[in-house]
């Protein structure tokens, strides 16, 4: 074995003293630990303080894991068969506790001797005034050194437990590893950063995260490693962004032309909000720079992103470029197509729709006219990114409701042209800042932080099932006033069939309450063909239907200004951001709108918090923060697939400080040394290359 640090850490795990073939096999199969490095990176998930031995008389059942030392007596077994248990008492002169075991009794028989002194470790509980510890860890007082002080606790699997390869055993082999004479860790952060942020060095951190001298050292080690983890992620994102934004392009908006001006002055049905104007200027600047634009447009539901996109597309059209607008669902794409072609009526700008259900003959026609440049704006679904869709000169690709698309798909659009088109990504899911820095860290961000004038804030209430009849009465008065209603049922992941039955059952009941011909109802759900869905939706949009009963398929983007009530059935089953999205379907017209959250009586604390947040605020950013806090960032919509949040130590939702610091430090480093070529950054550079290889390079852009 060569004596370099890389080779040492790459050594296969079975070579480590105390591991051997059987345990190596377990480590590989159960924990994916193949090498010394893997073991070193298997961090404990918590610590227990074994530096202190408690007096038994001081124990109570509020304590965490503790240890006591005393003489064991009265070891005996009770019960038979499966209910057999072992019991003993432990006496330390200040009092006694009971020890109880249900498993591993055979091993106990061999190990436990009455009259012997042991250290017992576990969580005390109290039953009938007797303090006991169930399944204490027992050890003899003269223990190995690594078992005193702050102890790491590692995750293990059932299989490992069954083979007596427990957290302690892992601690033991880890201890061997970090005390191996060849153990060597290369620093991977620049000295300046270590100094600035007062971080411990890498070797110290990796030793102390497993075996800290005290809790402060454990925290210092964790902080350092969290920072490192986030720093290299940010470095990767920013490095990528740097590659992208240095991409020169000939796709330039040199002038604001006739189409834009005509539309702006004579066709625009309303005055833009200041926020819309600001964002439009940002886009206008980007498009004129001769550099590829990659911009994220964030704006709460109803803030008017579509018109900004359309105006941007008109700028391109005036400079003889084509544009496309991609939406996540057929319904949305169709709706965009309709509203945009209406707005463009008589302007000479040609707009077409391409989705999965576009017929072959129409498709052929679209293909031909895309290539000869007759089509100026193509609107559609994922169908747009298929390779066979070829443009003559695509200049701008707009992606609506980004959270339904993965990062990879975003980059597919680049390939649509000889020169990558400008990209404008729009999302109505407000994203907490730290998350945006990560998920969209390669994009420049614009925010529409203002709703069009005259919108009345939606009133949200929480109602119980038992109060449903009042709700229905209210809905009837709304309908009498000419309004329309959404009633949405949740998707229950376990079974599509159940969802369907749930929805159908609800629909039948509602029919009794809102009988024809006085009331008309329609239904949309995931099982319907796009054409059928669209048919119902367009009836609703036209006002032919009073009540639209739906699953969450209507979640994004659909725009029916006359709808004034959004009623969510079994609201306890909806996520917070999802409820906010759905609520955004109403409040688009001049009338007062309502969101009614209906639940059963039994609600958990998290559910109450979700409902209360909905009732208290309509601010999407506040909602996003609470959502992230409740669920963690990994569960937020669209982040799951990204893989960017698979972090070992750091959490985007908790470690705001470290996310911001890592971003800032990575940024500063790249400003000074964009290609990491300075000698003082050579360790960082080497590690970064390795990091990119292990964590998936997003590939070269060109
Ligand atoms: P979102 O940002 O959720 O995609 P839309 O673009 O669908 O929102 O806009 C919501 C509604 O607001 C549309 O009916 C749109 O025509 C209207 N709208 C957009 N901008 C303005 C504005 N400045 N003044 C008034 N109404 C506007
Ligand atoms: Mg929209």
CATH number at residue 484: 3.40.50.300
What b/e readout covers 269-295, taking b as 16+ CB neighbours within 10 angstroms?
A: eeebbebbeebbebbeebbbeebbbbb
> What is the pLDDT at residue 702?
32
Report the separation in Å between the CA atom of 428 and the middle of ligand 2, taken as the mean of its atom positions: 7
Same structural domain, 32 and 61: no
How large a percentage of the chain has pLDDT more than 90?
A: 56
Report the separation in Å between the CA atom of 332 and the middle of ligand 1, taken as the mean of its atom positions: 14
Report the separation in Å between the CA atom of 239 and the middle of ligand 2, taken as the mean of its atom positions: 31
Same structural domain, 40 and 61: no
Q: Which residues are registered as beta bridge partners of 297?
A: 426, 446
Best residue among 309, 452, 585 to mutate for probing ligand 1's pocket (most ligand atoms within 8 Å of CB) is: 452
Report the separation in Å between the CA atom of 546 and the middle of ligand 2, taken as the mean of its atom positions: 23
E-assigned strands of 315-412? 322-326, 351-354, 377-380, 394-400
The verdict on residue 697 lying in a domain is no
Q: Which residues contact 599 (CB under 8 A, 6 or more apart)?
A: 462, 463, 464, 465, 570, 571, 572, 607, 611
The verdict on residue 536 lying in a domain is yes
Same structural domain, 505 and 574: yes
Nearest CA to ligand 1 atom 13: 304
Best residue among 302, 326, 338, 456 to mutate for probing ligand 1's pocket (most ligand atoms within 8 Å of CB) is: 302
Report the separation in Å between the CA atom of 328 and the middle of ligand 1, taken as the mean of its atom positions: 19
Same structural domain, 28 and 89: no
With 60 as the cut, is the pLDDT of residue 422 above it?
A: yes
How large a percentage of the chain has pLDDT more than 70?
A: 91
| Own/partner pairs, 478-482, CB within 8 angstroms, 24+ separation | 478/564, 478/565, 478/594, 479/519, 479/546, 479/547, 481/591, 482/562
Cα(44)–Cα(208) distance, integer angstroms: 11
Q: pLDDT tens, 639-672? A: 444 556 678 898 877 788 999 999 999 999 999 9
Of 66 and 144, more confident: 66
Q: Which residues are registered as beta bridge partners of 47?
A: 152
How far apart are the two ends of the chain, measured CA to CA in Å?
Answer: 41
Same structural domain, 372 and 414: yes
Cα(394)–Cα(324) distance, integer angstroms: 8
Same structural domain, 368 and 480: no
With 80 as the cut, is the pLDDT of residue 191 above it?
A: yes
Mean pLDDT value of segment 398-423: 71
Cα(594)–Cα(459) distance, integer angstroms: 5
81-85, 104-108, 133-137, 665-669: least confidently modelled range: 104-108
With 80 as the cut, is the pLDDT of residue 554 above it?
A: no
Nearest to 73 by CA among 102, 93, 55: 93
Same structural domain, 518 and 595: yes
> What is the pLDDT at residue 144?
56
Nearest to 314 by CA among 363, 267, 270: 267
Same structural domain, 396 and 468: no
* Residue 448 contacts residue 273 (beta carbons within 8 Å): yes
* Ion ligand 2 neighbours, Cβ < 5 Å: 557
- DSSP of 281-307: HHHHHHHTTTB--EEEEEE-TTS-HHH
Cα(352)–Cα(341) distance, integer angstroms: 8
Report the separation in Å between the CA atom of 400 and the middle of ligand 2, taken as the mean of its atom positions: 7
β-bridge pairing 130-134 and 96-101 = parallel
Mean pLDDT value of segment 174-180: 95
Same structural domain, 366 and 351: yes
Same structural domain, 270 and 326: yes
Tell me the pLDDT band of 454, cut-offs 50, 70 and 90.
confident
Domain total in the chain: 4
Q: Is the peptide bond before 517 cis (omega within 30 degrees of 0)?
A: yes
Task: Give Rg (Cα) of the chain.
Answer: 31
* Strand order, beta sheet including 96-101: 124-127, 130-134, 96-101, 85-91, 66-78, 117-122, 137-139
Tell me the pLDDT band of 470, cut-offs 50, 70 and 90.
very high
β-bridge pairing 484-488 and 547-550 = parallel
Ligand nearest to the CA of 557: 2
Cα(570)–Cα(530) distance, integer angstroms: 26
Taking the mean position of all CA atoms in its chain, how far away is CA 4? 38
Cα(565)–Cα(587) distance, integer angstroms: 8
Cα(660)–Cα(650) distance, integer angstroms: 12
Q: pLDDT tens, 228-279? A: 999 999 998 898 888 777 778 889 999 899 999 999 999 999 999 999 999 9
Best residue among 272, 306, 562 to mutate for probing ligand 1's pocket (most ligand atoms within 8 Å of CB) is: 306
Same structural domain, 120 and 169: no
> What is the pLDDT at residue 316?
96
The verdict on residue 164 lying in a domain is yes
Ligand nearest to the CA of 309: 1
The verdict on residue 605 lying in a domain is yes
Tell me the pLDDT band of 409, cut-offs 50, 70 and 90.
low
Same structural domain, 465 and 556: yes
Residues at CB less than 6 angstroms from ligand 1: 270, 272-273, 276, 299, 301-307, 428, 452, 559, 561, 588
With 70 as the cut, is the pLDDT of residue 698 above it?
A: no
Structural domain boundaries enclosing 3: 1-47+158-184
Q: pLDDT tens, 308-363? A: 999 999 999 999 999 999 988 888 898 899 999 999 999 999 999 999 889 999 99
């Amino acid at each position: 074995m060569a004596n370099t640090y890389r080779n040492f850490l790459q050594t296969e795990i079975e070579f480590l003293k105390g591991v051997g073939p059987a345990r190596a096999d377990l480590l590989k199969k159960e924990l994916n630990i193949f090498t010394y490095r893997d073991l070193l990176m298997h961090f404990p998930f918590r610590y227990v303080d074994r530096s202190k031995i408690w007096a038994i008389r001081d124990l109570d059942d509020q304590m965490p894991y503790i240890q006591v030392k005393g003489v064991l007596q009265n070891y005996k077994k009770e019960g038979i068969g499966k209910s057999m248990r072992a019991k003993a008492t432990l006496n330390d002169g200040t009092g006694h506790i009971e020890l109880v075991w249900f498993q591993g009794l055979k091993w106990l028989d061999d190990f436990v001797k009455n009259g012997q002194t042991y250290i017992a470790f576990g969580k005390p509980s109290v039953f009938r005034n007797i303090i006991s510890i169930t399944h204490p860890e027992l050890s003899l007082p003269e223990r190995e050194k690594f078992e005193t002080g702050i102890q790491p606790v590692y995750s293990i699997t059932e299989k490992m437990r069954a083979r007596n390869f427990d957290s302690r055993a892992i601690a033991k082999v880890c201890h061997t590893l970090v005390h191996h004479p060849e153990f060597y860790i290369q620093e991977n952060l620049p000295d300046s950063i270590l100094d600035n942020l007062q971080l411990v060095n890498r070797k110290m951190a990796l030793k102390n995260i497993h075996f800290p001298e005290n809790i402060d050292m454990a925290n210092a080690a964790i902080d350092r490693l969290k920072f490192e983890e986030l720093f290299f992620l940010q470095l990767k994102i920013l490095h990528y962004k740097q590659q992208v934004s240095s991409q020169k392009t000939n796709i330039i908006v040199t002038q604001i032309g006739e189409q834009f001006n005509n539309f702006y002055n004579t066709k625009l049905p309303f005055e833009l909000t200041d926020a819309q104007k600001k964002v439009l200027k940002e886009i206008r600047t980007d498009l004129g720079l001769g550099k590829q634009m990659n911009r994220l447009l964030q704006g709460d539901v109803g803030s008017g992103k579509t018109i900004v996109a359309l105006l941007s597309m008109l700028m391109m059209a005036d400079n003889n470029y084509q544009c496309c607008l991609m939406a996540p669902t057929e319904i949305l794409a169709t709706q965009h197509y309709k509203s945009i072609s209406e707005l463009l009526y008589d302007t000479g700008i040609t707009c077409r729709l391409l989705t999965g259900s576009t017929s072959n003959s129409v498709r052929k026609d679209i293909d031909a006219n895309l290539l000869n440049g007759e089509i100026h704006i193509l609107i559609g679904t994922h169908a747009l990114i298929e390779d066979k869709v070829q443009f003559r000169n695509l200049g701008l690709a707009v992606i609506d409701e980004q959270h339904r698309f993965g990062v990879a798909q975003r980059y597919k659009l680049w390939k649509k042209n000889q020169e990558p088109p400008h990209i404008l990504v729009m999302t109505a899911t407000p994203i907490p800042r730290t998350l945006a820095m990560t998920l969209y860290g390669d994009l420049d961000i614009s925010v529409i932080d203002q709703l069009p004038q005259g919108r009345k804030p939606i009133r949200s209430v929480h109602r119980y099932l038992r109060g449903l009849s009042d709700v229905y009465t209210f809905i009837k008065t709304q309908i009498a006033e000419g309004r329309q209603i959404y009633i949405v049922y949740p998707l229950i992941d376990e079974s599509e069939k159940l969802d369907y039955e749930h929805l159908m059952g609800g629909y039948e009941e509602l029919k009794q309450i809102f009988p024809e011909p006085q009331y008309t109802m329609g239904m949309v759900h995931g099982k319907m063909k796009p054409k059928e869905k669209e048919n119902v939706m367009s009836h609703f949009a036209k006002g032919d239907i009073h009540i639209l009963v739906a699953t969450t398929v209507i979640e994004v983007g659909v725009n029916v200004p006359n709808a004034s009530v959004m009623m969510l059935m079994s609201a306890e089953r909806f996520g917070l951001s999802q409820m906010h999205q759905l609520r955004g379907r109403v409040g688009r017209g001049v009338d007062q709108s309502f969101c009614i959250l209906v639940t059963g009586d039994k609600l958990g604390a998290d559910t109450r918090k979700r409902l209360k947040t909905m009732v208290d605020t309509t601010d999407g950013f506040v909602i996003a923060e609470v959502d992230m806090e409740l669920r963690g960032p990994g569960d937020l919509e669209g982040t799951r697939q990204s893989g960017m949040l698979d972090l070992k130590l750091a959490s985007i939702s908790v470690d705001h400080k470290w996310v911001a610091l890592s971003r800032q430090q990575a940024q500063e480093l790249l400003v000074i040394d964009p290609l990491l070529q300075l000698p003082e950054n050579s360790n960082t550079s080497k590690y970064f290359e390795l990091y990119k290889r292990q964590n998936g390079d997003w590939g070269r852009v060109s």
